Copies of this chain bind each other. A is one copy, B any other.
Amino acid sequence: MERVPVLKIGDMLLVSIQVDMEDQTALNLQEDLADKIVATGCRGVIIDISALDIVDSFVGRMLATIAGISKVLDAETVVVGMRPAVAITLVELGLSLPGIRTALNVELGMALLARARFEAEGGGDAGEDDETVAAAS
């Protein structure tokens, strides 16, 4: 049974998806990631899909589920490394990955997460957060 490793880098978790996601692999990943977020207290999750030729509705749903789980655990998710062809196909299929932030590569994803957290902590005012920023004393 394949397990996708979850790597801790600084205060972020990095997942590089390279294998075909079957049901069990996806469930394992969700579980491992949730465990690791809780164990490490990381506030950001970066999912690299640069190895994927195809992102179908199953993978799209899995990414959305992971983003949802992370959100509940107070971590932000960014999907990075999407290939141009994948982006084109996604849109043509009508799958626009709602609720999932994206960035071009791991570094830009890290920058996005750092900025999002800075704003969430009251460091900046402008932001398109839909969540109420709780009293930044």
A55: min CB distance to chain B, Å: 15
Interface of A, helix, strand, loop or mixed by DSSP? loop
Whether the Cβ atoms of A48 and B107 lie closer than 8 Å is: no
CA distance A4 to B48 in the complex (A): 12
| A16 interface residue per 8 A CB criterion | yes
Interface string of A114-125 (1 = CB under 8 A from B): 000000000000
Interface string of A43-86 (1 = CB under 8 A from B): 00000101100000000000000000000000000000100000
Whether the Cβ atoms of B105 and A5 lie closer than 8 Å is: no
Whether the Cβ atoms of A106 and B19 lie closer than 8 Å is: no
Among A2, A5, A19, A50, residue most surrounded by chain B Cβ atoms (within 10 Å): A5
Whether the Cβ atoms of A51 and B4 lie closer than 8 Å is: yes
A45: min CB distance to chain B, Å: 15
| A103 interface residue per 8 A CB criterion | no
A11: min CB distance to chain B, Å: 10
Whether the Cβ atoms of B81 and A5 lie closer than 8 Å is: yes
Interface residues of chain A, those whose CB is within 8 Å of chain B, are: 2-5, 7-10, 14, 16, 18-19, 48, 50-51, 81, 105-107, 110
